[in-house]
A = this chain, B = another copy of it.
Amino acid sequence: MFPYKTSIQLDRKSNQALYLQLSNQIIQLIKNQTLVSNTKLPGSRTLAEQLEVHRKTIVACYEELESQGWVESIPKKGTFVNRTLPTLNQQKLKTSSNFVLRDEPDFSFYRNQIFRKRSFEREDNFIYLNDGISDSRLTPLNEIARTYRRISAKKNIFKHLSYGSTYGNDDLRKVLVNYLNQTRGLKIAPENILITRGSQMGIWLSAALLLKQRDYVVVGATNYQSADTTFLNNQAKIERVSVDKDGLVTEEIKKLCNRKKIKAVYVTSHHHHPTTVTLSAKRRIQLLNLAKQYNFAIIEDDYDYDFNYNHAPILPLASHDTNGNVIYIGSVCKTVAPVFRIGYLIAPREFIDEAASLRGIVDRQGDALLELTFASFIKSGELDSHIRKVLKIYKQRRDLFCNLLKTELGQFFEFDIPKGGMAIWTKLQETHCWEAVSEVARNHKLEIGNWRRYDSIQSGHNCIRIGFAAYNEGEIYELISRLKKTMKDVA
């Protein structure tokens, strides 16, 4: 008889019932052909004695095996490994998949790791540069978590726990419509809004709906890298125009339109990513007129609307659009915290309907509890209070950071004080290169990060984006001090 006693290990402390542990192990023995087809299993009494378990355990195990089809019980003869089981061809467990992944030419960029971010342990005593993120420590997390729990305790909440609308929660849609109409001069109705998972989903949906393979989309010579990646993923072709102090150069867009069919223009009107300039009023009108004349869509990613230090925000292109050309994208990820994946896509109704279908295929729906939480957070004015509060703090940080960068490191770096946003577009003196600075910085526990990403077309502008908002006063002093030591070593 097969040595069941030594082949089977039962763990009496496990949560899993003994008969299930036993049946799973017998299945393994059958699968790896230790117990071949038609093998007679021992009688329940015999096996119970061997394994020192109750006979009922063995009976339950055999019933389980039979109901799953692994064994068959033949009256008066006993229990046998099923005779009709095919053999499972064995092979060592692989770490890589055996089937071929989709492999279009444009697909290889997946492997560039741009979008494959693993979490990594940061070293405590390092300072990491970023490209303009908010300070997580200022997140009104307690207020949000309290609201989340309060909403979860509501009597009628259960209707929100099942499958819901692919457009997003209706309460949040209505609240956002009011909020955006008031703050951004839009004139939209709930039918014009889809709740997304942050701006990225808005960009992706727009790209997927607008751009066919080899369609042209226009972006800045410098551009938000995630947008570039998203367009390439949708197998669109990217055309680039210059970016000056007024934003995208519309004259160049016009020239492009005369040469080829442009399907869409992507613009971070407020403020251009990465250079931080604002698209001027004149350019805005020109761009809208071009969109009408050449019938292209404007994908307006207004991620930075709430962060202006010198004047009120400029109303978005979407507020001037009378022709249905603008798709407007925003989120609370910048204003509250990236962890809250709530954004919106604003467009003519027909487009929103298509987007709702597509988002349904990708992830079915959003998180209604979180959406209700944010509906309450916005309606109560807490979002506005929070923005006012952090705007003041970020302005102080900008001023301090720019001041120190100018006085302490002015001989190495050129920059304009950004009128808004959370980052400074910083040019390194041309006698130096970021590669060397980056390397030396590590000796001073300063991580510059992926500086190459700001110049995807290798124009050699020698600039990177340095976020200032996520550091408090002490950290800014320390960062500048480390950068100073770095430049001293480099120079």
Contact = CB atoms under 8 A, between A and B. Distances in A.
Contacts of A161: 136, 139, 141, 337-339
A441 to B, nearest CB: 21
Interface stretch (A43-51, A365-373, A472-480): A365-373
Contacts of A340: 367
A12 interface: no
Nearest to A189: B95
Contact of A364 (B69, B95, B200, B323): B200
A282 B98 contact: no
A324 B116 contact: no
A361 B115 contact: yes
A204 B160 CA distance: 24
A339 B282 contact: no
B198 A356 contact: no
A145 B148 contact: yes
A487 interface: no
A280 interface: yes
Contacts of A381: 15
A78 interface: no
A490 interface: no
A286 B141 contact: no
Interface residues of A, number: 143
A353 interface: yes
17 contacts: A24-B185, A69-B280, A85-B285, A88-B289, A93-B324, A96-B324, A98-B325, A98-B348, A101-B209, A113-B357, A115-B356, A116-B167, A118-B167, A119-B170, A142-B152, A162-B338, A200-B361
Interface of A: 14-16, 20, 23-24, 27-28, 31, 63-64, 67-70, 82, 84-102, 104, 110-111, 113-119, 122, 133-134, 136-137, 139, 141-142, 144-146, 148-149, 152-153, 157-167, 169-170, 182-183, 185, 187, 196-198, 200-201, 204, 208-212, 226, 229-230, 233, 263-264, 280-282, 285-286, 288-289, 292, 295-297, 310-312, 314-315, 320, 322-325, 337-341, 347-351, 353-354, 356-358, 360-370, 381, 384
